[in-house]
Amino acid sequence: MKAPIGIGLIGSGRAGRIHARNFAGRISGAQLVAVSDPAPDAAKTTAEEFGVDASYEHYEPLLENGAVDAVVVATPTNFHRDIVVAAAARGKHIFCEKPMALTVEECREMNEAVAAAGVKFQIGFMRRFDKSFREAKEAIDDGVIGDVVLVKSLTHGPSTPQRWMYDVAASNGPLAEVSSHDIDTLRWFTGGEVVETYAIAGNYRCPDAREEFPDFYDNVVMTTRLSNGLQGVIEGAVSVGYGYDARVEILGTKGVLFVGSLNESRVSYCTVDRGVGATAVKSWRTLFIDAYEHEGQSFVDAIAGDSETMVGGIDGLRAVQIVNAGNESIGSRAPVAIDIN
């Protein structure tokens, strides 16, 4: 029997801990063998929780660890480029959380490093591994709604952003952190590339950011024209409070398709006091819990079978390019063309 692929986790925060849980026991053919995180006790705590011996503050010794065949990069986005380039240079296969990086130039550098090393590279667009999203994609490909005309994708997150996200120049803002997923879905469902976008944005729910970060927006709407003539609309919001809301509507020439629901369960109720009620989805952690596991399994299968990953560096790069065009459009109040050549 083949030895399991050794996984090193770099960054053990919110996303990293989901991957730790999956690679520590739920994904076949892989084993979590090391964790690194510079925050006090973070790596040690995660390593202990998931039965891992090796924990480090810095990612360099993790990359030197011979038991690590592949890394999962789940640090804040501004570290992705340096870590991915360093991991590729050590011949490690790489799973990198979205957004791939902050600039297209960084993405190019990462893709070149990965290609030169001949390692596998996957970006964390886990909606491509979600059961409902996959069913929708299959229905689209089977022509169930005729030819696709318009994809409308929205994500609303419940929580107020961490302070670093308020600085849009440093974080690329909610378009990057939240709407990257919708952007990837748009490309996936239309089969086209975004060639033009116009975006408007504003800050409606985060008054504490207004003075120091006047560019910060908590609500954004982005219209897009695709290379194959199709249309796309993306709507993103943070700090909505009511729950985690991820829904897509796809309009075709012969019908319409809806993906996702705000309802956490299939149970709803009606009471004398409150009328009709249901429980809202609270977090991406629960909504996409299976998708995170499936994306991890797909990554490991690509390594074991020496096949292409299902979401690669070009998908990551395109999403970053569209995010940046959207932010430019918000600033200039004008449509922005995107060069896809």
Ligand X SMILES: NC(=O)c1ccc[n+]([C@@H]2O[C@H](COP(=O)([O-])OP(=O)(O)OC[C@H]3O[C@@H](n4cnc5c(N)ncnc54)[C@H](O)[C@@H]3O)[C@@H](O)[C@H]2O)c1
- Binding positions for ligand X, rule: CB under 6 A: 10-16, 36-39, 42, 59, 74-77, 79, 97-99, 124, 126, 177, 284
Tell me the closest approach of the beta carbon of residue 9 to ligand X, in angstroms: 9
The smaller minimum CB distance to ligand X, of residues 74 and 151, is found at 74
CA angle 269, 272, 275 (to 5 degrees): 50
- What is the CA 218 to chain-centroid distance, rounded? 18
The smaller minimum CB distance to ligand X, of residues 59 and 198, is found at 59
The smaller minimum CB distance to ligand X, of residues 11 and 252, is found at 11
Tell me the closest approach of the beta carbon of residue 192 to ligand X, in angstroms: 23
| Residue 206 structure tokens | 């985060």
- What is the CA 233 to chain-centroid distance, rounded? 18
Contact 179, 201 (CB under 8 A): no
The smaller minimum CB distance to ligand X, of residues 16 and 236, is found at 16
Encode burial over 73-88: b for 16+ CB neighbours within 10 A, e otherwise.
bbbebebbbbbbbbbb
Q: Name the residue whose CB lies closest to ligand X.
A: 13
The smaller minimum CB distance to ligand X, of residues 54 and 226, is found at 54
In the chain, which ranges are E strands?
A: 5-10, 30-36, 54-56, 70-73, 93-96, 121-123, 148-156, 194-202, 219-226, 231-237, 245-252, 256-259, 263-271, 275-280, 336-337
Tell me the closest approach of the beta carbon of residue 164 to ligand X, in angstroms: 8
Tell me the closest approach of the beta carbon of residue 99 to ligand X, in angstroms: 6
Q: What amino acid occupies position 92?
A: K
Tell me the closest approach of the beta carbon of residue 17 to ligand X, in angstroms: 8
